[in-house]
Amino acid sequence: MKKILILIIAVIGGFISYGYFQKNNGLEGEKWIGIGVLLIAFVLMPLFIYHRYKNKNVKEYLMTNFTQKKEDTDNQ
């Protein structure tokens, strides 16, 4: 999964770099920059979040669980 994420980052960097290169040469590079940004938002971020939290108990990070523990310790 880590290699896939690195590959996606390289592809996104390529799209954005190519877009800026096109834009500096007077052509329409906004399309390539937009594709790179969309890939970041809809491909890279969900894969990254899945990769980081796939073996973790997400309930430990919820605020409701924290407040319940705090109330339990305050009542004792």
Q: How confident is the model at residue 6 (pLDDT cuts 50, 70, 90)?
A: very high
Host domain of residue 64: 2-75
- Model confidence at 73, pLDDT cuts 50, 70, 90, reads low
Q: What is the mean pLDDT of residues 44-62?
A: 85
Q: Whole-angstrom Cα distance, residue 73 to residue 76?
A: 5
pTM: 0.72
Is a pLDDT exceeding 70 seen at residue 1? Answer: yes
- Provide the domain count of the chain: 1
Which pLDDT does position 18 carry in this prediction? 96
Long-range contacts of 36-45 (CB under 8 A, 24+ apart): 36/12, 39/8, 39/11, 39/12, 39/15, 40/12, 43/8, 44/5, 44/8, 44/9, 44/12
